[in-house]
Amino acid sequence: MNISRVRATGSYLPEREVLNQDLKQFPASSLPLIEQKTGIAARRYAGENESTSDLAAQAASTCLRQANLPAEEVQAIILATSSPDRMQPATATRVQSLLGASKAFAFDVNSVCSGGVYGLEIGNSLIQSGVVSNVLVIASEVYSRILNPADFSTYPYFGDGAGAVLLERSEGPAGIIGSILRSDGAGHDVIQVPGGGTMKPYSRMQSPREQYFTMKGKEVYEFAVTRAPEIMRELLASTGLAPECISWVIPHQANVNIINAIAAAVEIPRERFLVNLQRYGNTAGASVFIALDELCRSGEVSSGQIVMLVAFGGGLSWAASAIQF
């Protein structure tokens, strides 16, 4: 059977850094709560002329340079995003054009914050089935454009960024060991952008606020701290891996208290959980890939080690994947 291995990773964070104290629209007395409640001290915002596809292309270009692979040799592009350039066409097609990946087919995946892991398993399946021998999986988000700047419950907690992973067919033992994807449509309205689609086009919005991202914070917290440990244990059982086999866990970078609760619920030490949300905030579907790229560039992951990715987000959706390097 074909095995998908990670050949290279890449990421891109916009230059503009916004610290908590820079959020002048909120009372100064409330700003310390951001870090206290979530661990977030800063985030990056896309430049005026940067869109989701621009960030994606930057991350993908870095990834391809790391792999020494010309864009013309990429066979498929999967872009995970919940903040697309436009309702249509697929944002991935503009990324294809920006890269010059003329031989690739390209499409989007929207599973909100689980999108990167969903895209990874879709790419893995394309390789395993023999459709392609390599797939460029990208996750890119520009949430600064879909958030209400006056909403303290959402605006301070998200940032913009992109990450990329190049998968390729391999005959070696290392690669994607297993993945699990889950969703619960009963929670479809827990995390959402109410306006702009066919259910509520802009012409039928009752308030301009319906164009912005919303979430039910308490329900999201309870969902995340329940489902993430469950799927991690399920993945360990399905792959036959013991908790001590996991060298690193890369969780979705939503909230440090959520990550602490997940770590406490599984038999994997907290120090193995990689956390970078203090610098970038919640970059939604891109967060796992950005952290994975940081881990790969740090030199702290070595041959034979196993990294577990776990994500959770709108839909409701959640996913986990185990990769041996």
Across the range 208-220, mean pLDDT stands at 93
Check residue 16 and give its pLDDT: 97
Q: Annotated catalytic, 113?
A: yes
Which tops the pLDDT comparison, 308 or 198? 308
Indicate whether 1 pLDDT > 80: no
How does pLDDT run across 110-140, given as a tens digit for each residue?
Answer: 999 999 999 999 999 999 999 999 999 999 9
pTM of this structure = 0.96
Check residue 225 and give its pLDDT: 97
Indicate whether 173 pLDDT > 90: no
Q: How many CB atoms within 10 Å of residue 269? A: 12
Rounded Cα–Cα distance for residues 180 and 126 (Å): 16
Domain borders along the chain are 3-171, 177-324
Check residue 142 and give its pLDDT: 98
Among 86, 52, 111, smallest CA distance to 288 is for 111
Check residue 143 and give its pLDDT: 98
Indicate whether 305 pLDDT > 80: yes
Check residue 301 and give its pLDDT: 84
Catalytic residue among 113, 124, 134, 296: 113
CA distances from 294 to 20, 250, 290, 298, 316 (A): 23, 11, 6, 6, 27
Rounded Cα–Cα distance for residues 86 and 36 (Å): 35
Annotation: CATH topology of 3-171:
Peroxisomal Thiolase; Chain A, domain 1 (3.40.47)
DSSP string, 37-69: HH---EEEE--TT--HHHHHHHHHHHHHHHHT-
Rounded Cα–Cα distance for residues 78 and 63 (Å): 14
Contact in structure between 117 and 321 (CB atoms under 8 Å): yes
Check residue 302 and give its pLDDT: 84
Indicate whether 75 pLDDT > 90: yes
CB neighbours of 255 closer than 8 A, spacing ≥ 6?
37, 38, 39, 157, 221, 224, 277, 282
Across the range 39-62, mean pLDDT stands at 98
Annotation: CATH topology of 177-324:
Peroxisomal Thiolase; Chain A, domain 1 (3.40.47)
Q: Annotated catalytic, 188?
A: no
Check residue 55 and give its pLDDT: 98
Per-residue pLDDT band at 172 (split at 50, 70, 90): confident
How does pLDDT run across 3-45, given as a tens digit for each residue?
Answer: 899 999 999 999 999 999 999 999 999 999 999 999 999 999 9
Per-residue pLDDT band at 303 (split at 50, 70, 90): confident
Across the range 139-159, mean pLDDT stands at 97
3-171 and 177-324 in the same fold: yes
Average pLDDT score over the chain: 96
Q: Annotated catalytic, 252?
A: yes
Rounded Cα–Cα distance for residues 91 and 97 (Å): 10
Rounded Cα–Cα distance for residues 196 and 182 (Å): 26
User: Looking at the DSSP assignment, which residues form a beta bridge with residue 63?
Assistant: none
| Residue located via tokens 């990670």 | 6
Catalytic residue among 110, 134, 255, 282: 282
Across the range 231-260, mean pLDDT stands at 97
Indicate whether 259 pLDDT > 90: yes
Among 108-112, 165-169, 209-213, 287-291, the least confident range? 209-213
Catalytic residue among 20, 63, 110, 252: 252
Per-residue pLDDT band at 299 (split at 50, 70, 90): confident
